[in-house]
Amino acid sequence: MEPVLVSLEAGVQRITLNRPEKLNAFNPGVHKGLADAMTRAESDGAIRCLLITGAGRGFCAGQDLGERDMKAAAIDLGSGLDTWYNPLVKRMRALPKPIVCAVNGVAAGAGANFALACDIVLAARSASFIQAFVKIGLVPDCGGSYFLPRLAGMQRAMALAMTGDRLSAEDAERWGIVWKTVDDDKLMAETTKLATGLAAGPTRSLGLIKNLLYSSSNNTLAAQLDLERDTQREIGKGEDYREGVAAFLENRRPEFKGR
């Protein structure tokens, strides 16, 4: 069974974590499948949006805890982060295309933070988020210590990380950790609709919106205003801007080409 399923339809590259019997925990096969999917998303102009989800009842239970040699004299967890998790998160954030996530079930440890690395996150009502690291004597990774305080605020982030308590999808929505909670049986239809709409959108604008918003975390207002100006100057030279204005003036739907 392929550990990651990848398909392309209507400009949406769907990436499904596919180890349902292990709640889609990360192992080398999953990492390799994700890295390959990212390489394709980076280079293939036909891909204009990514949709990430999990097979079965879980989204992703984080690192496969059966994969480490716990009898080894020294275990270097940093090398797995250097090789797989950190490049993945950096590539997701740098990809100039939207990444939508459908959290279909429990998301724990690196699995929870992998979801938070996506640009727009929808969750099934029955899904939940667990910063499970502390339960096994570790600390949040896969970007969790960066995303959580920014999304939920320091107090909530600290409590989630220190207790490892389970957060329901509805509370995650209330706290701003996910965009929307939807009924389980509507999750895929709703996420696919969103992703398909984004894939038909002005892809360059969407990529630059992503860059602008993520850059704002580290910018002063003055620097951000400059970045907005430079970005608007650049995107204003594109075909999609002309098409958008023409469609408005002609009272029709725009046909964006992503250029």
∠ Cα 110 113 115 (to 5°): 115
Given the complex with ligand T3D, which of 177 and 208 has the nearer CB atom? 177
Q: How far is the CB of 86 from ligand T3D (least distance, A)?
A: 11
DSSP secondary structure of 57-125 = TEEE-SB-TTSS-TTSS---HHHHIIIIIHHHHHHHHH-SS-EEEEE-SEEETHHHHHHHTSSEEEEET
Applying CB under 6 A, the span of 22-30, 35-43, 87-95, 213-221 interacting with ligand T3D comes to 22-30
Contacts of ligand T3D in 39-78 (CB under 6 A): 61-66, 68, 77
| Residue 196, CA distances (Å) to 12, 50, 98 in order | 6, 9, 11
| Residue 239, CA distances (Å) to 48, 59, 242, 250 in order | 16, 38, 5, 16
Give the β-pairing of 166-168 and 4-9.
unpaired
∠ Cα 75 3 23 (to 5°): 75
Residue 4 binds ligand T3D (CB under 6 A):
no
Given the complex with ligand T3D, which of 23 and 194 has the nearer CB atom? 23
Number of chain residues interacting with ligand T3D (CB under 6 A): 23
Interface map 192-221 toward ligand T3D (x if CB under 6 A): ------------------------------
Given the complex with ligand T3D, which of 40 and 57 has the nearer CB atom? 57
Q: How far is the CB of 105 from ligand T3D (least distance, A)?
A: 8
From CA 231, how far away is CA 234, in angstroms rounded?
A: 5
Q: In the numeric block, which tokens belong to residue 144?
A: 């969790």
Residue 88 binds ligand T3D (CB under 6 A):
no
Residue 141 binds ligand T3D (CB under 6 A):
yes
Contacts of ligand T3D in 168-197 (CB under 6 A): none
Applying CB under 6 A, the span of 28-36, 104-112, 118-126, 238-246 interacting with ligand T3D comes to 104-112
Q: How far is the CB of 223 from ligand T3D (least distance, A)?
A: 34
Neighbours of 76 (CB within 10 A): 9
Q: In the complex, which residues of this chain contact ligand T3D (CB under 6 A)? A: 22-23, 25, 61-66, 68, 77, 80, 106, 108-110, 130, 132-133, 135-136, 138, 141
